Amino acid sequence: MTSTPTDTPLLNTLSVVEVVLRQLGRRLPAHVSREDLASAGKVALVEALMRFDGPTHEAQPYCHTRVRGAMLDELRRQDPLSRRTRRRVKTVNRATTELTGQLGREPADFEVAAATGLTIGAVREANRFATIDEIPLDGAADGMRLELPDPLAACPAESAARDDTASSVQAALARLPSKQAFVVRRYHLDGATLDDIAADLGVSRERARQIRVAGEKQLRADFVVLALWQSLLARR
């Protein structure tokens, strides 16, 4: 049995990273890099498929759990606040709310300090941090990490075209953001130079290169997933 990029279970599994990113993205703090989250999710997806040994229709929920855990771990890594600071912020917020109800006004810092047992300085620091957006960081990943192929290696689009799997390439390109897909297609399939692409987009040559690299990384992850999917089907 063979698999193509149009298989529904495969498409559902490939879309896990985008689905989780959309779910978390509604509440992401401003300091969080969506690209870093997506990268962590792609690595987790590859790891999950390497470990998965169940029926293919169960791959998507299994991978969803792993990818979500990896993205939450990445959020923790990027979190500028320690857990201790977050607990203190919650304590101060709770005390402030309770005192406001009791006093009929917003309490002074010294009143919150007395209610919480914190110093006035600690209360003021917590109030400063309270303005930073927070996302629940529930869930966990197992900490395993897997390096994707060398970013300096040939783009999968080139290899796939030479191996007469252009349909797979086009399907993978369709899953990229439109600008990345355009740049990768022009550079690797049309033979355009970065200067040509930069002129097409109205951006600098360096910006065109950055878009190309980002697209290539996404393609590599997709092709690794495709290979693992084929391996999974071969074990059925």
**Separation CA 41–CA 13 (nearest Å):** 12
- Give residue-wise pLDDT tens across range 22-46: 887 666 666 667 777 887 888 888 8
Structure pTM? 0.42
Position 190 pLDDT exceeds 60: yes
Where are the domains positioned within the chain?
Answer: 1-80+139-146, 83-129, 148-236
Q: What CATH number matches the domain at 148-236, 1.10.150.20, 3.40.50.150, 1.10.420.10, 1.10.10.10? A: 1.10.10.10
Q: Which pair of tokens denotes residue 193?
A: 């130079």
Rg (C-alpha) for the chain, rounded Å, is 23
What dotted CATH number matches 1-80+139-146?
1.10.1740.10
Q: Cβ neighbours of residue 95 under 8 Å, at least 6 residues apart? A: 107, 112, 115, 116
Q: d(Cα 62, Cα 20) in Å, to the nearest integer? A: 13
pLDDT tens-digit map of 97-142 = 888 888 888 888 888 888 889 888 888 877 776 654 444 444 433 3
How many residues are given for the chain? 236
